[in-house]
Amino acid sequence: MNLEFTPKEQAFRAEVREFLRSKLPASIRDKVLAGRELSRDDYVLWQRLMHERGWGGMSWPKSVGGVEWNAIEQYIFEEESSRAGAPRLIPFGIKMVAPVLIAFGTPAQQQRFLPDISSGAAWWCQGYSEPGSGSDLASLRTRAVLEGNEYIVNGQKTWNTLGQFADWIFCLVRTDTKSKPQAGISFLLIDMKSPGITVRPIALLDGGHEVNEIWFENVRVPVENRIGEENRGWTYAKFLLGHERTGIAGVGISKRELERLKHIAREQRGEGGRPLIEDALFAARIARVELDLRALEITNLRVLSAEGVERAPGPNASILKIKGSEILQTISELMMRAAGPWALPFRREAMEAGWQVDPARDGATPEYAATVMSTYLNLRKLSIFGGTNEIQKNIVAQMLGL
């Protein structure tokens, strides 16, 4: 395999770097590089700037307002964005529901929803998991009953990411209780302002409000908001999950966090006052995760290339999900070890107020070591969401006939 980028791809990388240099707001960049929490306005502003550049729908067909970036161009953009400190684009609209709309939606649905996804005018969230229906998603019980030209939706979704900001939610709902579980599910697009929707926060380990439970009580959804055929939602859900698990690899973010780890290890002192990165054991741990990351990068490029010629991701998507989450969790754990006692004090209120360690007063620890604890705690979720790693290993085994 030739891992060298072509002159055309290198020119594209230079174009992306110039865009990031000139358009990425410093206030957003500094938050990302320091590991601090972004606001809704931060994410929306960045999506708007992408849209104004003509890059709002990166991989979408030109016929629906996209620019048709190939797999390598998307990879280059995400790598450069991570390195520069750009926010990760909220995937629920751009990378999840949009591909479903493009593949299975009607022209009217595409014209209605895709422009607002590209411009950032509409924030989407996902309604898949339920209490008791996470990895076993086909057992979901949220019910949608057709009455005339509307579905009446009742039930509960949980572990919903950033739904407190959302304008729309794409939901899997049960429309047939007599068929086998996978055959009785439909895919609905629901306006979050609809009467009967209640969003309740779930506090995470780091104290943040990132996920929610969402209740539906007699919520009315027009039938034209159904994607594809009734009771065929499982087909569309599997299509979407392949895209979600590919994106979870997060190679660019892991590269950025690996550099953050190395910086902390260079600043922190180990035995004898030497930089921690010169400790043979700790250096070996860094080297091992760096090698794992390189292998993941190669696998990611292979999977994306397969998508580029319209082959399904297959078991490789699950491999990316497993290894991507494990690598990023390992990097965050090593950052905790490198920061030592500087990682212990963590108060979300102080971080949101802009508090940072003062190296001149408190020692030569890197400023952003103070956010290491929140990063570590938040990333515990990676091996669970998007399909638990244990379930993904079963998928790989089944698809390989093991």
Could you give the C-alpha distances from 258 to 252, 287, 291, 372, in angstroms and in order? 10, 10, 11, 13
Round to whole Å and give the CA distance between 304 and 310: 10
* 8 Å CB contact between 321 and 386: yes
Helix axes 280-308, 233-247, angle to 10 degrees: 140
Helices (H) and strands (E) in the chain, counts: 15, 8
Identify the pLDDT of residue 150. Answer: 97
Q: Token digits for 208?
A: 């943040």
Which residues, 6+ apart, have CB-to-CB distance to 345 below 8 Å? 370, 373
Which residues, 6+ apart, have CB-to-CB distance to 360 below 8 Å? none
In tens, the pLDDT along 101-127 reads 999 999 999 999 999 999 999 999 999
Look up residue 356 and give its amino acid.
Answer: Q
Identify the pLDDT of residue 117. Answer: 96
The string of DSSP letters for 294-357 reads: HHHHHHHHHHHHHHHTT---THHHHHHHHHHHHHHHHHHHHHHHHHGGGGS---HHHHHTT---
Q: Token digits for 213?
A: 């439970």
Which residues, 6+ apart, have CB-to-CB distance to 306 below 8 Å? 312, 313, 314, 316
* 8 Å CB contact between 375 and 335: yes
Round to whole Å and give the CA distance between 369 and 260: 9
Identify the DSSP state of 93.
I
- Can you tell me whether residue 130 is helix, strand or coil? strand
CATH of domain 7-89: 1.10.540.10
Which residues, 6+ apart, have CB-to-CB distance to 102 below 8 Å? 60, 61, 64, 110, 114
Which residues, 6+ apart, have CB-to-CB distance to 248 below 8 Å? 320, 321, 324, 325, 382, 386
* 8 Å CB contact between 304 and 246: yes
Identify the pLDDT of residue 369. Answer: 61
CA-derived radius of gyration, the chain? 22
Q: Which residues of the chain have pLDDT under 70?
A: 1-3, 242-248, 304-314, 344-370, 386, 402
Q: Token digits for 347?
A: 């108060």
Which residues, 6+ apart, have CB-to-CB distance to 182 below 8 Å? 138, 234
* 8 Å CB contact between 321 and 245: yes
Give strand pairing partners of 168: 124, 191
Identify the DSSP state of 87.
P
Q: What does the domain layout of the chain look like in residue ranges?
A: 7-89, 124-231, 248-399
Name which of 343, 341, 344, 369 is nearest 356 in CA terms: 369
Which residues, 6+ apart, have CB-to-CB distance to 287 below 8 Å? none
Compute the 3-state secondary structure of the chain and give helix, strand, coil in percent, each to the nearest 5.
Answer: 55, 15, 30
* 8 Å CB contact between 289 and 297: no
Tell me which fold the domain 124-231 belongs to: Butyryl-CoA Dehydrogenase, subunit A; domain 2 (2.40.110)
Would you put residue 218 in left (φ > 0), alpha (ψ -120 to 50) or beta?
left
Identify the pLDDT of residue 313. Answer: 53
* 8 Å CB contact between 210 and 39: no
Round to whole Å and give the CA distance between 379 and 204: 10
- Correct CATH for 248-399 of 1.20.140.10, 1.10.510.10, 3.40.718.10, 3.90.180.10: 1.20.140.10
